[in-house]
Structure 1
Amino acid sequence: MRGRYLALAALVAAAAFIGGIALERFQTGANDGASPGQKILYWVAPMDPNFRRDGPGKSPMGMDLIPVYEGQESGGDPAAVELSGAEINAIGVRTAVARMEQVARSIETVGFVRYNEHLTSHIHTRVEGWIERLGVRAIGDRVAKGDVLFTMYAPEVTVASSELLRAIRGNDTREIGITRKKLRNFGVPESEIDRMATLDAPADRFDILAPRGGVVTALEAADGMFLKPDVRAMTISDLSQVWLLVDVFERDIGRLSSRKTATALFEHLPGKVFQGTIDYIYPELDRTTRTLPIRLSFDNAEGLLRPNMYGQVKLVPENTREALTVPMESVIRTGRAERVILRLADGTFKPRLVTTGLNDSFGGGGRTEIVQGLAPGDEVVASAQFLIDSESALNAGLLRMAPTKEEPAMGKGALVSLDGARRIAEIAHEAIPALDWPAMTTRFALTADIALDRLETGKTVKFSAMRGADGLLALHELRPDDGVDAVGTGIVEAITGDGKLSLSHDPIPELGWPAMQMDMPVRGVETAAVPLGQPVRFDLVKDDGGTFVITAVRPAASKQADQDKRKDEPAKMDSPAPGPEPEAEPMRLTRTDGTINAIDTANRTANISHGPLKEIGMPGMTMDFPLAGDLSAESLVTGPAQVVIGLGPDGKMVLAGATPAKPPMKAVGTINSVDPQARTANITHGPLADIGMPGMTMDFPVADGVDIDALPLNAEIEIHLQQNPDFSLTLTGVSEGRS
């Protein structure tokens, strides 16, 4: 119960904060944005910019609606969030740039500093004797190579020294060599033997010298001590190099190699990174901890590392790769997907789905690899992103960025690399509007049914991607770009006066088109040579306007051209025994403007002249549509309307709905200029009384059915304007004279 209260309190606090942003916008917008005479366009809810009304009132949450003035209109994207400079400062927005960085899959572990046993010397004598003067007094004393460790009296050395002097006096070279060798075997340093050879009397003392520089790590010797060969007098270790002993988990053993480099961090030395190498990989696993000991070697010329120090270690492969990275804190992780908040060029913020790779396992740490979704230079929010995330209309924004099997994201680009064994393709692709992705290079996983034998690196390819249950994108289609988007079969009935082919075609599954009769435009086709009344195959290519045109026509019996581009279809299998009917797949809906010409109530059909259906690339035409099962024929009226066309999983098209279009608004005006490419017209018009708009000069989009080249310029005419659902206006026609 206590947890529920805490959760409720957190929700109230979040709502209060977001409401505060909305209130602040309302106040600053009302005070700063509303200059005298500025017109209110509409009213919106503070918490839902999609809730609009023509006048003041209350939102569904009981909050006062906020006026939106001219010049303050949003861009129409419900996922985008606009923040003022004051709001950015208030919530502490910080951004970071996505950048390319060397990354590698490293192994992280911990370890302890140990003495390098290869640089350790144990001091023993080879004869018995007494220590008369000790040069080292305590453990930890530092010594240099050649320093006197202690002076020793040994009777055997005294006797050998006497023999050396006798051989020298007798000038017996052979005896001198034998005696010097005996002294060396007794452990007497060469410098001490040379000193003994210059004495007048046998030496009764000799010095034991340090064999290396370092630190005394063990000390058994003492003044006056009787020393035997089996007693260790002391131990000296050189700390200019040390070992770091670490343990690696069993799951990481397969990624170990002697070519990995090691980096170590120590808490008492913040910011100091030590570089080392793998010195030895032990052969036996610890049966208790299931870890494998690894010995690392580090340079310690500065003496900063001391035995038994605890350090954090990272083992990095010698070969790294370059990848796009962002700060770890900029990634918002949910149970189903990962996303970042992207700062756009116009200063707005927008969520974008991404696919991440390695996390905090490379470089200086604290960064995440982005496999899909961002391009170098993109600016992401690294703090306060959760507040912006809650402010944005994520449902609309993210649903558009989550392609499904029914509506995959289509793309095109150059195949950079192809790994058939791992089934990974790297593609430098163009912008993908369905994902809201810019042009960039992305690595995709490939499904098992994609044939790879026709793919060549460096060539242009087309692909379709969808997001799986794990939130990751994968390609379900990848093929060479042969310039043809689809191939259809049908019969050309006639050639129209404007050069189109009037044909009855079979269903085209690649485009989701059902069987129908339509007039299709052509490009590069000699229409006089097209056979009429005979089965043909035709190639379809999408033009710049998003509709398909026919680029080639050939007899249906000639399939050689298709065989050059496509594999033979697999042989049909015997139909399996009927089982339970699968659940019906949802119907795809697309909207367009059109005119309902006639309604056949008995047969439940409607004859409609519609505009282009750009979602499926179908040009505008007139055809009969069956009515959807839940659509009443009595609810339809003839005349202009916005029609909703449904495309079922069987490829059949039905009329799913229709909304009668409002009669166009009329005003007196003058067309100053037109832009045929942008399909806009600059118009100076009088007042529009229907919406209270004063006369002004502005650019209007021109409806698809209007011949823009035929519009009269610089003449006073009556213009017809249609108001769209987003309150924008479109020029739908003109007429001579004044209204």
Structure 2
Amino acid sequence: MSGRYAALSILALGAGLAGGIYTERFHLNPTDMAENSGPEILYWVAPMDANFRRDEPGQSPMGMDLIPVYAGQESSEDPSTVTLSAAEINAIGVRTAVAQISDISETIETVGFVGYDEHLTSHVHTRVEGWIEELTVRAVGDRVLEGDILFEMFSTVIGSASAEHVRIMKEGNRRLLEISRNKLRSHGMSDRQIEEIEATGTTARNLQVYAPQDGVVIALEAADGMYLQPNTRAVSLTDLSTVWLIVDVFERDIARMTDDMTAFVRFEHLNGQIFKGQVDYIYPELDAATRTLPVRLRVNNSKRLLKPNMFGNVSLVPNKTRQALTVPTEAIIRTGGAERVILKTGEGTFAPRLVTTGLRDNFGGGGRTEIVQGLAPGEEVVASAQFLIDSESALSAGVMRMAPTGAEPARGAGELLAFDPQTRVATIRHGDLASVGWPAMDTDFAVKADIPVGRLTAGQQVKFEVIRGADGLLYINEIAPDDGIAATGVGVVEAVTADGKLTMSHDPIPELGWPAMVMDMPVSNLDVVEVPLGTQMEFDLAENADGMFVIVGVRPVDESAEIQENMDERDLILEMAAESFVVAGTIDAIDSDARRATITHGMIKETGMPSMTMDFDLLDTVDIAELPIGTEMTLTFERPDGMTMVLAAVDTAAPPIEVSGTINEVDPSSGTANITHGPMTDIGMPGMTMDFELSPSVEASSLPLGEELTLLMTRNPDFSMRLVGVITTEQVSQ
């Protein structure tokens, strides 16, 4: 017991001594400790959240001890960037692949079963009844060659017919001999056996039945001694050098099914072997039970590896392909709300990149995915261990910022390479889109339907905003020609500095993320002497070559409103200039020198212009020599300046439709007539009573009422009918 007390006393003495040393070094003499403590601690950070930093030790919101970050260890990269050493890259097995342009086509994936090629299948019947005396083929699966004897059959019909043939042959009557030969052929006897009878001069007791083709026996009803009748299928043969594969195409894929597709077939038990086939027939009717469309394929089976009823996986590949950017499918990281890849940004550095994918796996040799947006050709992505890198990147919350919404759209600028007004797709060569982590590249964006695009032309510089839709694609929410103005602010010029800068007290500028502040702003192409002080102004900011924002224009706030009003008016004029109007009418006269035509036209509903005769200028593209005078035709007008209508095109109208009818009433004020007419078979209109527009060439007061007439009708561009003339009974008789 005394030994235990002695040991405890020694331990207590040692602990007291160590505590005294610790107190002296860390509390009484901290300077010496700091001088010998190694690298300086810059801050303390949470192990699971690099954005949680403190100036002193403590715990993170997750209850974990903060770890120190020493001088030289701080990261100057984007928070989402992950840096790995060569040893770490090797340890976790990082492999990369390059985004590349590939030929892709949307493949149809399905399954099918092998079957006999019925075009290469024969069924053997006899044409006379009899008994099998000798059966050569003994079982299903036996191989035969064309011309081999399948069986011999005793038949009284054959015996009597062959005896008669021998008799006629001895008589030497050639005409009767040929008739006898045809009789034997009609009984199913081959020319080969007929020649044997004629060579030997003896009567044939049995009928020899030969194989009509090479193949294998797939059905055998015949047996030794069996009584055969013509309705009995004795033997079935097929050639297995080619087989059918019946596949089922789902309803969703029928629209893409064509008869020029190439089929690639794989069977589990034939590992590594791919059989190529062609579409032989697309059946006209869906299977009511499976809701699939049967499609028949022809597959070469010269090696006899494919057996009927075998199950195979089939890829139907279109012959037409398109080129698109692709990456290995395994490189795509899919989450509930987005898709991304891990991009190799440098030696040992990686960062996430938000992408939008298209076709996946079902093209080419498989294993690759189409990238619709987010990558440029040649960029290097991680194809293995990307989930480890992605989880490390997500700790820095670097991925969450890459999803632009309507509230915070991603903004960019670039050159409009092409715009398709039908599909409303704009191809833009843009610079870096920092908010989504995209580099400079060419990207196709869909443009919202309510965005005006009348002023967009290929080759111009544009600025745009994009947001991400529910389908994952970025689409353009705003787009306009880029005049170089990055942002516009409102503020008061308080002073002009000695070096020519404007001291601005401005309101917040959301486009740049600037709060309200007072700052000295450089100017460009602006005379600062003429800028009024102490007046609220609107100013334009542009980015110079050094990446700094400079003031390029100032104006009073009320003047900016007037400028905006003028811009709105200009946009309205441009919008009106894009419209064209189609109406029926007649060219009455043409002044070639002035390029002007006198035209009588119907009502132009789009502008509310009534029917009238007036002069119109001709568009430069109109050939005066081809303009017919005095002919009812379809006229197209445009307003190049947004106001003045000019004749842009003419289309000679079809001959009027003749129909019998009666004019009941005429209203000259509205230019219409109430007419009861018979059927217009040319356009499928039944007989009826209704109001019709009168052509300007028709004099309303001269129209006869209540008489049976031949009415001349034409169709307006909007498919309504118009009365262009009448023929009375007297005129018809004359």
TM-score range, shorter chain: 0.5 to 0.7
Tell me the amino acid that sits aligned with residue 425 of structure 2: I
Map of 1:702 onto structure 2: none
Shift of 1:139: 0.4
Shift of 1:315: 2.6
Map of 1:462 onto structure 2: 463
Matched residues in 2 for 1:502 and 1:66: separation?
A: 43
Identity between Structure 1 and Structure 2 (%): 55
Map of 2:11 onto structure 1: none
Matched residues in 2 for 1:75 and 1:488: separation?
A: 32
Matched residues in 2 for 1:552 and 1:187: separation?
A: 107
Cα pair distance change 1:524/1:65, threshold 3 Å: closer
Map of 1:305 onto structure 2: 306
Indicate conservation of the 8 Å contact 1:277/1:296, yes or no.
Answer: yes
Cα pair distance change 1:426/1:242, threshold 3 Å: farther
Tell me the amino acid that sits aligned with residue 543 of structure 2: K
Shift of 1:239: 1.5
Indicate conservation of the 8 Å contact 2:354/2:437, yes or no.
Answer: no
- Stretch deviating more after TM superposition (74-83 or 413-422): 413-422
* Greater Rg over alpha carbons, structure: 2
Indicate conservation of the 8 Å contact 2:490/2:538, yes or no.
Answer: yes
Say if 2:361 is the partner of 1:360: yes
Tell me the amino acid that sits aligned with residue 199 of structure 1: T
Matched residues in 2 for 1:82 and 1:171: separation?
A: 106
Say if 2:331 is the partner of 1:330: yes
* 1:61-93 Cα shifts (integer Å, max 9, x gaps): 4446245353x4423322122223333333333
Shift of 1:110: 1.8
Shift of 1:527: 8.4
Matched residues in 1 for 2:196 and 2:56: separation?
A: 113
Matched residues in 1 for 2:176 and 2:388: separation?
A: 94
Q: Secondary structure at the match of 1:397?
A: coil
* 1:295-352 Cα shifts (integer Å, max 9, x gaps): 2222222222111111112233332222222333332222222222222222122222
Matched residues in 2 for 1:175 and 1:76: separation?
A: 106
Cα pair distance change 1:510/1:92, threshold 3 Å: closer
Map of 1:242 onto structure 2: 243
1:337-348 → structure 2 map (5 Å cutoff): 337-348=338-349
Say if 2:258 is the partner of 1:257: yes
Cα pair distance change 1:486/1:88, threshold 3 Å: closer
Indicate conservation of the 8 Å contact 2:505/2:518, yes or no.
Answer: yes
Cα pair distance change 1:241/1:489, threshold 3 Å: same
Map of 1:42 onto structure 2: 42
Matched residues in 1 for 2:460 and 2:575: separation?
A: 26
Shift of 1:242: 1.6
Q: Secondary structure at the match of 1:182?
A: helix
Indicate conservation of the 8 Å contact 2:356/2:371, yes or no.
Answer: yes
Map of 2:127 onto structure 1: 126
1:392-411 → structure 2 map (5 Å cutoff): 392-394=393-395, 396-411=397-412
Tell me the amino acid that sits aligned with residue 552 of structure 2: I
Map of 1:111 onto structure 2: 112
1:360-439 → structure 2 map (5 Å cutoff): 360-394=361-395, 396-439=397-440
* 1:270-294 Cα shifts (integer Å, max 9, x gaps): 2222222332333333333333322
Matched residues in 2 for 1:531 and 1:125: separation?
A: 115
Map of 1:192 onto structure 2: 193
Matched residues in 2 for 1:42 and 1:227: separation?
A: 104
Tell me the amino acid that sits aligned with residue 185 of structure 1: S
The match for 2:552 among 550, 553, 571 is: 550
Matched residues in 2 for 1:379 and 1:333: separation?
A: 18
Indicate conservation of the 8 Å contact 1:541/1:551, yes or no.
Answer: no
Cα pair distance change 1:73/1:434, threshold 3 Å: same
Matched residues in 1 for 2:355 and 2:302: separation?
A: 45
Cα pair distance change 1:127/1:470, threshold 3 Å: closer
Matched residues in 1 for 2:512 and 2:90: separation?
A: 49
- Given the two structures, how large is their TM-score scaled by the length of structure 2? 0.63
Matched residues in 1 for 2:514 and 2:569: separation?
A: 24
Indicate conservation of the 8 Å contact 2:424/2:447, yes or no.
Answer: yes
Tell me the amino acid that sits aligned with residue 157 of structure 2: E
1:606-621 → structure 2 map (5 Å cutoff): none
1:155-166 → structure 2 map (5 Å cutoff): 155-166=156-167
Q: Secondary structure at the match of 1:369?
A: strand
- Given the two structures, how large is their TM-score scaled by the length of structure 1? 0.62
Shift of 1:370: 2.0
Matched residues in 2 for 1:517 and 1:324: separation?
A: 48
Matched residues in 2 for 1:103 and 1:94: separation?
A: 24
* 1:451-503 Cα shifts (integer Å, max 9, x gaps): 33433445554321112455442211233445555689999999987667899
Shift of 1:217: 0.7
Map of 2:229 onto structure 1: 228
Q: Secondary structure at the match of 2:188?
A: coil
Cα pair distance change 1:500/1:74, threshold 3 Å: closer
Q: Secondary structure at the match of 2:356?
A: strand
Matched residues in 1 for 2:59 and 2:495: separation?
A: 59
Cα pair distance change 1:450/1:273, threshold 3 Å: farther
Map of 2:623 onto structure 1: none
Q: Secondary structure at the match of 1:151?
A: strand
Tell me the amino acid that sits aligned with residue 89 of structure 2: I
Matched residues in 1 for 2:551 and 2:172: separation?
A: 115
Matched residues in 2 for 1:567 and 1:146: separation?
A: 87
Q: Secondary structure at the match of 2:346?
A: coil
Indicate conservation of the 8 Å contact 1:413/1:462, yes or no.
Answer: yes
Cα pair distance change 1:183/1:321, threshold 3 Å: same
* 1:552-573 Cα shifts (integer Å, max 9, x gaps): 99997788995798456999xx
- Stretch deviating more after TM superposition (450-459 or 560-569): 560-569
RMSD of Structure 2 on Structure 1 (CA): 4.3
Tell me the amino acid that sits aligned with residue 140 of structure 1: G
Matched residues in 2 for 1:565 and 1:407: separation?
A: 29
Map of 1:442 onto structure 2: 443
* 1:531-590 Cα shifts (integer Å, max 9, x gaps): 99999998764323141442799997788995798456999xxxxxxxxxxxxxxxxxxx
* 1:365-413 Cα shifts (integer Å, max 9, x gaps): 3332222222223332333333222222455312332223343222234
Map of 2:95 onto structure 1: 94
- Stretch deviating more after TM superposition (297-306 or 476-485): 476-485
Cα pair distance change 1:459/1:318, threshold 3 Å: farther
Matched residues in 1 for 2:172 and 2:398: separation?
A: 104
Matched residues in 2 for 1:396 and 1:178: separation?
A: 98
Cα pair distance change 1:68/1:193, threshold 3 Å: farther
